[in-house]
């Protein structure tokens, strides 16, 4: 099933309005948005809405209520899961089924690059959670976490499947240059990689039904 990702979903509940002529975005106010009316109108026209809500960052209960009112899945990022304690909402055991689990998104470092730069505390928590670093590498550890989670969908960037470091990062938010330049070559997708991903997909019941027949 295809999904349409709505970036900055919280703007459908309330948005930060800055008066014309201001030189800084700090001088603004929160304005209530007609999100409920908007989605009801779209739903009345098209029926079920294949929408994924990008609900990262500081999200209020009102935003969550709007998301859940229409049954939109939210986003969970494994790279965000290990910097605090067991209450972290991105840990797989705290996730709901109606969500989409990522190892990381296009705005994150690659998993290999991320693991090389996190704090000792965070690294220790990651390794204890996945049972230690295997010869497969940290990227396959997080890929397995994403696929074996209860999330209805899971997405893994190609850079993580290939086990690439920070040089392959797609985007760094806030930096105007040097982004969206990484490309892969067909020969990088080896038969071994295809087989490994296919078998993990089947084992975790994320494959199309005809794969099991």
79 in a structural domain: yes
pLDDT digits (tens, 9 = 90+) for 54-76: 999 889 999 999 999 999 999 99
pLDDT digits (tens, 9 = 90+) for 82-138: 999 999 999 999 999 999 999 999 999 999 999 999 999 999 999 999 999 988 999
Catalytic residues: 7, 54, 107
57 in a structural domain: no
**Residue range(s) defining the domain that contains residue 155:** 73-212
134 in a structural domain: yes
182 in a structural domain: yes
* Contact predicate 51/100, CB 8 Å: no
Report the domain count for the chain. 1
pTM (2 d.p.)? 0.92
Q: Which residues contact 104 (CB under 8 A, 6 or more apart)?
A: 77, 78, 79, 110, 111, 114, 142, 157, 160
């Amino acid at each position: 099933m295809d999904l349409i990702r709505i970036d900055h979903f919280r703007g459908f509940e309330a948005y930060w309005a800055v008066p014309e002529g201001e030189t800084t975005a700090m001088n603004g106010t929160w304005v209530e948005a007609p999100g409920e009316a908007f989605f009801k109108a779209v739903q009345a026209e098209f029926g079920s809405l294949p929408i994924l809500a990008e609900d990262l960052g500081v999200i209020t209960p009102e935003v969550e209520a709007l998301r859940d009112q229409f049954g939109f899945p939210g986003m969970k990022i494994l790279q965000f899961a290990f910097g605090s304690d067991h209450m972290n909402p991105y840990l797989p055991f705290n996730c709901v089924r109606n969500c989409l689990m990522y190892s990381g998104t296009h705005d994150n470092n690659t998993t290999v690059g991320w693991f090389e730069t996190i704090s000792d505390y965070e690294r220790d928590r990651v390794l204890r959670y996945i049972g230690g670093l295997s010869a497969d590498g940290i990227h396959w550890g997080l890929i397995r976490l994403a696929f074996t989670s209860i999330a209805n969908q899971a997405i893994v960037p190609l850079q993580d499947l290939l086990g690439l470091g920070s040089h392959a990062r797609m985007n760094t938010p806030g930096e105007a240059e040097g982004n969206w330049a990484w490309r892969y070559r067909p020969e990088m997708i080896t038969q071994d990689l295809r087989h490994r991903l296919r078998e993990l997909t089947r084992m975790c019941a994320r494959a199309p039904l005809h794969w099991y027949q």
